[in-house]
Amino acid sequence: MKLKIILQIAWGLLKARKRQTIVAAVGVTFGITTFITLLGFMNGLNDLLDGLMMNRTPHIRLYNEITPSSTQPIDEASNHNDDYNFVHSIKPKNDRMEIRNNKPIISFLSNAPEVKGVTTRITSQVFFNIGASSIGGLINGIEVAQEKELFFFEDYMIEGNSMDLQNVPNSIVLGEILAEKLMLRIGDLVQVTAPNGERFQLKLVGLFQTGIADIDKSQSYASILTTQKILNRPNDYVTDILVKLHDVKRAPALAKYYGKLFSVETIDMNTANAQFDTGSSIRSLISYAVGITLLVIAGFGIYNILNMLIYEKMDSIAILKATGFSGQDVSRIFNTIALVIGIAGGGLGLLFGNLLCHLIHSIPFNTDALPTIKTYPIDFSTKYYVIAALFSVITTYFAGYFPSRKASKVDPVAIIRGK
């Protein structure tokens, strides 16, 4: 009942100052629209740029490095415990690149709660033959399904289907520039020479493009089974275990822990790509700062208009107070006015922001880096809409707070006597 009358009076006062009300609301609308668009666009681009590197990068990589043993037999000799020894020119022994006993490691990681996904890889040097000459390159043996899920492999395929790697026996996917150099098209046979000198014929089922020329002109993907066959290794041969975590921030600590636990070398993404994190967080910060500034400016607009309204409506405030409305009621009326402006302006702002985002999202944008992206990227996550809505209500509330307090303190006697 009481709320209704306050709404009624607030609405009446708003209607009496239509133009100013609209100007104030448009200020909020503009602020929110810009906020939504800016953040959506910025974060869309951020995700795109991060995706370029982050999507392809495992959070933790487990591998084996050929290093000389850190302990020498003489260290074990008990009768020389008190002596110093110097061994010169230590060389690593001819060790294998594989991760030994990898099955239990993989099953441990797959079941660990902090791990989102695990996949294995084999990486090896190969030669691609064209006529009499050969081009050096790299073959990555991958688990196609996991690779697709964890590292968005499909996004980089510009021709063919990545699942063919698994479905077609002895198949391969080449980097786009590499395929061009080899003058091969899908369906052709690729001649591959393994490090041990054995030659293989693989069927080209697809092309990929990462936008990084070095990769595109030298790398290729095959299924892990095919790769094991080329390298003439048993089917438990794996050189890399790649882990994606639920929480990237835990990568450095977990990398160390896994390294100790499994006695393998590990590297985490943060160490490998520290600059990416900084770049994207600063970009977000800038867009938030600009968006919030716009809203604060809109807030000042509301503040001004309410102040004006209060000066104009002194008589009405006095009469409301004289007829039994308390200061609290009066301040509620003006707060309501502010909130109505904020909610109406903010709601429209959300709508226009969304429309503008859709508009930008439809502008063509072609980049070599991500062949699947055809238009400007926009992040449509509801998070920004919630923040914008909250912020518009909060700003307008505060913009209305001081004028409302002033209105509630109007002394009716002073106004009525002053006439």
Partner 1 sequence: MKKTLIEAQHIGKYFYSPKKVQVLNDISFKIDEGEFVSVIGKSGCGKSTLLYILSTMDTEYEGDLKIDGVATKKKTPHELAHIRNEKIGFVFQFHYLLTEFSVIKNVMFPGIKLGKYSEEEVEHQAYERLKLLGIENEALKNSNQLSGGQKQRVAIARALINKPKIIMADEPTGNLDEGNSELVFDIFKEICAELNQTILVVTHDNDFANRTDRIIELSDGEILSDGPPLIGIG
2 binds partner 1 (CB under 8 A): yes
Residue carrying structure tokens 């133009």: 19
Query: Cβ(313)–Cβ(408) under 8 Å?
Result: no
Alpha helices in 266-365 (DSSP H): 269-272, 274-312, 314-322, 327-361
- Binding part of the chain for partner 1, among 10-18, 151-159, 213-221, 362-370 by CB under 8 A, reads 10-18
- In the complex with partner 1, the residue whose CB is nearer, 156 or 325, is 325
Picking from 138, 209, 142, 223, the residue whose alpha carbon sits closest to that of residue 180 is: 209
Least distance (Å) between residue 21 CB and partner 1: 13
CA angle 124, 107, 240 (to 5 degrees): 15
Determine the Cα–Cα distance for residues 9 and 330; give it in Å rounded to an integer.
Answer: 10
**Is residue 1 close enough to count as binding partner 1 by CB under 8 A?**
yes
Q: Smaller CB distance to partner 1: residue 5 or 130?
A: 5
CB of 4 to partner 1, least distance (A): 8
Q: Is residue 308 at the binding interface for partner 1, with CB under 8 A as the rule?
A: no
State yes or no: residue 318 binds partner 1 (CB under 8 A): yes
Q: Indicate whether 19 belongs to the interface with partner 1 (CB under 8 A).
A: no
Tell me how far apart the alpha carbons of residues 357 and 33 are, in angstroms, rounded to a whole number: 9
93 forms part of the interface with partner 1 (CB under 8 A): no
205 three-state secondary structure: strand
**Closer of 9 and 298 to partner 1 (Cβ):** 9
Comparing CB distances to partner 1, the nearer of 9 and 243 is: 9
Please report whether residue 327 would count as binding partner 1 according to CB under 8 A: yes
Report in angstroms how near the CB of residue 310 gets to partner 1 at its nearest: 14
Helix H or strand E segment including 24:
helix 18-50
Pick from 63, 151, 262, 325: which binds partner 1 (CB under 8 A)?
325
Q: Which residues pair with 129 in a beta bridge?
A: 134, 191
Residue type at 45 in one-letter notation: L
Alpha-helical runs (H) found in 188-250: 213-216, 224-231
* Contact status: 321 vs partner 1 (CB under 8 A): yes
Residues in contact with partner 1 by the rule CB under 8 A? 1-2, 4-5, 8-9, 12-13, 15-16, 315-316, 318-329, 412-413, 416-417, 419
